[in-house]
Amino acid sequence: MKEDDIVLEGADIHKSFQTGAETLHVLKGVDIRISRGEMVSVVGASGVGKSTLLHILGALDRPTKGKVRLNSTDVFALSDKKLAYFRNKTIGFVFQFHHLLPEFSALENVMMPRLIAGEERNSIKEEAKHLLSEVGLADRANHKPGELSGGEQQRVAVARALINRPQIVIADEPSGNLDPSTAQELHDLISELNRKKGCTFIIATHNQLLAQRAHRIITLAHGKAMPS
């Protein structure tokens, strides 16, 4: 792994939670490096801290200790306001539950990260339409989430994650709520986007078929990250 190729680096990441009188140490010094264009899966038993790690790598949560660098930026050295702006511009997210806004169409949901950033609707619309086409939903642009199947909703979520042309996409159990056939279709889509667009993906998953399609598998156990 060449130094110039590293897009994301987590160093000595610790995360603890206070539960009553007890302190729960979930992450105990995780080191992780991701190359540009890689698809990396993070696996491990339930409760081992996969989501916690992804939330920290995606700058949604601050670590108790440790650093995350995205390109040349020391992410957690930023103020909360600057961090929110940085996260919106450079990181895309796909979660187990799509988190689409029910009152908006598929197209509007895809546009939302850039609308929130203050961009004009007309300047985003064509790119959002193109992304919906890339995920196979060109004919569903005006449908609201409630009118879409679970697999279609996740495809919209993937398109939304890509609208800002992020440096990296964080996907937390993206197919965990889908039936096996629909999950396979989503896995095919992610692999294709990784290959065609060079998108960097970090995917936490229990699905072994998805994990094995990654370039690299990282196993989280006992608060540490171990290459498989």
Look up residue 119 and give its two tokens.
């961009």
| Spatial distance between the Cα atoms of 204 and 220, rounded to a whole number of angstroms | 10
Q: Where are the domains of the chain?
A: 36-62+90-227
- Can you read off the two tokens belonging to residue 158? 């993937």
Q: Would you give the DSSP letter of residue 163?
A: T
Residues of the chain with pLDDT under 70: 1-4, 97-98, 227-228
pLDDT at site 98: 67
Q: How far apart are CA 198 and CA 204, in angstroms?
A: 19
Residue 143: predicted pLDDT: 93
pLDDT attached to residue 228 = 63
Give phi and psi for 7, each to the nearest 5. -100, -30
Specify the pLDDT at position 12: 92
Beta-carbon neighbour count of residue 47 at 10 Å? 9
CATH classification for the domain delimited by 36-62+90-227, as one of 3.40.50.300, 3.30.1280.10, 3.30.70.380, 3.40.50.20: 3.40.50.300
Instruction: Cite the DSSP H helix spans in the chain.
Output: 50-57, 80-90, 106-116, 121-134, 150-162, 180-197, 208-213
Determine how many CB atoms are found less than 10 A away from the CB of residue 187. 21
pLDDT of residue 19: 80
For position 2, what pLDDT does the model report? 54
